[in-house]
């Protein structure tokens, strides 16, 4: 008398232990990658310079992109309001430095306009560049 049931066909098994490891490493990679990237950065092609220095005092970032959109600390500002906005920052800090990020395709006259505003407000201005190489 044989009491065991006969197996019809092969038993299918899926081993998921290796897939758990892969999913863990993918999750870890994307978590680390998301902390490194900054989605609020304005993409500009900066001119290159061989003698770059960093600025350590209170700074504000002024950017001019290739479409002549002016941004002050990640907020888009019309050109006419630029002196008022930068003047507001001047009241907050006594030693203020403007870091000017300009796309290399922008005409020099637009850069000089921001330099004139900084000169009238007696604010130091630094032009941001990329290192050569």
The three-state DSSP-derived secondary structure of the chain is CCCCCCCCCCCCCCCCHHHHHHHHHHHHHHHHHHHHCCCCCCCCCCCEECCCCCCCCEEEEEEECCCCCEEECCEEECHHHHHHHHHHHHHHCCCEEEEEEECCCCCHHHHHHHHHHHHHCCCEEEECCEECC
Report all structural domains of the chain as residue ranges with CATH numbers, in order of start.
48-131 (3.30.420.270)
pLDDT beneath 50: ranges in the chain: 55-56
Tell me: the pLDDT tens digits for 99-127? Answer: 999 998 999 999 999 999 999 988 889 88
What pLDDT is recorded for position 1? 59
In this prediction the pTM is 0.57
What pLDDT is recorded for position 42? 65
């Amino acid at each position: 008398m044989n009491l065991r049931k006969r197996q019809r066909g092969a038993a299918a098994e899926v081993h998921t232990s290796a897939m758990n490891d892969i999913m863990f490493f993918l999750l870890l990679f994307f978590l680390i990658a998301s902390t490194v990237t900054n989605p609020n950065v304005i993409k500009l092609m900066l001119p290159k310079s061989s003698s770059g220095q960093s600025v350590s005092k209170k700074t504000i970032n002024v950017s001019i992109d290739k479409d002549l959109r002016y941004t002050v600390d990640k907020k888009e500002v019309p050109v006419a309001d630029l002196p008022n906005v930068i003047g507001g920052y001047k009241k907050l800090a006594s030693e203020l430095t403007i870091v000017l990020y300009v796309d290399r395709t922008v005409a020099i006259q637009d850069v000089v306009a921001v330099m004139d505003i900084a000169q009238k407000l007696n604010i130091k201005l630094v032009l941001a560049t990329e290192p050569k190489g």
